[in-house]
Structure 1
Amino acid sequence: MGRTPLDTPARQQEVFSTVLDVLAEVGYARFNMDLVASRARASKASLYQRWPTKVRLIMDALKANLPDLPQPDEGTFAEDVRQILRSWGEPVPFDIAGIFLGLLEGSRQDADLACLREEYVDRAYTEQLQVAVDRAKIRGELPERLDAGILITALISTFVLRSEEQGVVDGIVDGLLRPLIGDL
């Protein structure tokens, strides 16, 4: 009985899901093709043939699993943020905190991973929030002097670190953001 080729979409998604699970579980330093091959029931040689480095395999898995990131305009900054965070995946299909911690760990060790993470992952998430911040400043909801980068980092970090919690999005918006910006 032969294995399904890695170039079929379903098989690739199976491998990519395994990659993200392994990264979240063991981190970047201990991530290796042997673990992925074993758990995905694939040969290590076939993985290396398609993805010559673990960086490429991890990045392809991340790109294939980025959620659809629409740009909502709900009329208020708080509601824009609520819709943005929901689009990131509630319920979350993967261990987001583990994946991001693995990426951060790996980015300290591997410059290629850091560049690819910034280009494909960080930009996708920060651009969406930056548009919402810029719109909120124009509407007068946020002060012009607000450091958007720090606010965006705080929103992303809180979401990532609490992503396993039920109702995390509403908690961030109603328990943190609305009181912070005075939007009750």
Structure 2
Amino acid sequence: MSTVKQAGGRPRESRVDHALAEAVRALLSEHGYASLTVDAVAARAGVSKAAIYRRYATKEEMTFAVLVHDLREEPPADTGSLRGDLTALAARIGDQIGRSAADVMTGLLADVRADAALGARFAATYLAVERSVIATLLDRAVTRGELPERPDSPVVHALLLGPLFTWPIVLGEDPDRIPKLAPVVARIVADALIAGALPPAAQDGLSGGS
């Protein structure tokens, strides 16, 4: 999968990326999401605000990229089977969710949902990357002959993400149990796919972003 080019074509500096990530995590731990600002991150990281805005358009995008994933998300390694690929992907999603505090994710997603333009940006960037990863995984299964056609990527996305997201963030359960939940979710999704229980791509208007 191709990566997303940085604004202005300038390459990222790993030192700056590391400093920003450390600053975001430290400030969230000390003051919480509501108090997080680009100014505070720039000051803590020892970089200019321009360096941040070359990477992220908003505080929300910066926070999501640091805590969950950026726009360079790659498909999991090809394990040779649909079940193996789904297990690897569910483990990755679980790890990403598990290392993000529930209150931070709740505040971040509330901001995204409250601003239509910001929500559209997230859908066109981070969600599109996630669905591209899933589409690649499903296309592998079609090529191997495990599936007759690609199922609807957003539906598979929802089935993988939903339980893992709900466990710590909606239900407030122990995130340390996610590693045991992730393979169960992957197995359920794999069984549904192999049984042909999910709609194919673009059926019934369910498809989008794949």
> TM-score category by the smaller chain?
0.5 to 0.7
Report the residue type matching 1:87 in the other structure. Answer: R
After TM superposition, give the deviation of residue 148 of structure 1 in Å. 3.0
Aligned match of 1:56 in 58, 68, 71? 58
Alignment partner of 1:180 is 2:192: yes
Name the counterpart of 1:168: 181
Name the counterpart of 1:112: 117
The normalised TM-score by structure 1 is 0.64
CA distance in 1, matches of 2:92, 2:107: 22
After TM superposition, give the deviation of residue 129 of structure 1 in Å. 0.9
Alignment partner of 1:87 is 2:92: yes
CA distance in 2, matches of 1:145, 1:8: 40
Cα deviation, 1:88-133, whole Å, max 9, x if unaligned, reads 46373223x5555444422332123213322332122211111111
The alignment partner of 2:87 has SS state of helix
After TM superposition, give the deviation of residue 33 of structure 1 in Å. 4.3
Contact 2:86 2:186 in 1 (8 A): yes
Poorly superposed stretches of 4+, deviation over 3 Å: 7-11, 18-23, 46-52, 67-71, 97-104
Name the counterpart of 2:161: 156
CA distance in 1, matches of 2:153, 2:116: 26
After TM superposition, give the deviation of residue 150 of structure 1 in Å. 1.1
Q: CA RMSD in A?
A: 4.0
Q: 1:134 to 1:99 in 2, by over 3 A?
A: farther
Alignment partner of 1:73 is 2:78: yes
Contact 1:69 1:88 in 2 (8 A): no
After TM superposition, give the deviation of residue 70 of structure 1 in Å. 3.9
Alignment partner of 1:128 is 2:141: no
CA distance in 1, matches of 2:147, 2:103: 32
Segments of structure 2 that go 5 or more residues without pairing to the other structure are 1-14, 169-174, 196-210
Name the counterpart of 2:208: none
Alignment partner of 1:141 is 2:146: yes
Contact 2:93 2:164 in 1 (8 A): no
Aligned match of 2:23 in 15, 32, 35? 15
Q: 1:118 to 1:88 in 2, by over 3 A?
A: same
CA distance in 2, matches of 1:47, 1:58: 18
CA distance in 2, matches of 1:124, 1:104: 17
Q: What fraction of aligned residue pairs are identical, expressed as a percent?
A: 18
Contact 2:85 2:137 in 1 (8 A): yes
Report the residue type matching 1:154 in the other structure. Answer: L
After TM superposition, give the deviation of residue 138 of structure 1 in Å. 3.3
Cα deviation, 1:129-184, whole Å, max 9, x if unaligned, reads 1111122233332343743321222212222223623312212123x12432458x
Q: 1:169 to 1:20 in 2, by over 3 A?
A: farther
Cα deviation, 1:37-96, whole Å, max 9, x if unaligned, reads 5xx7x68xx9978768x971221232244175344211211211111222346373223x
CA distance in 2, matches of 1:116, 1:70: 21
CA distance in 1, matches of 2:129, 2:28: 18
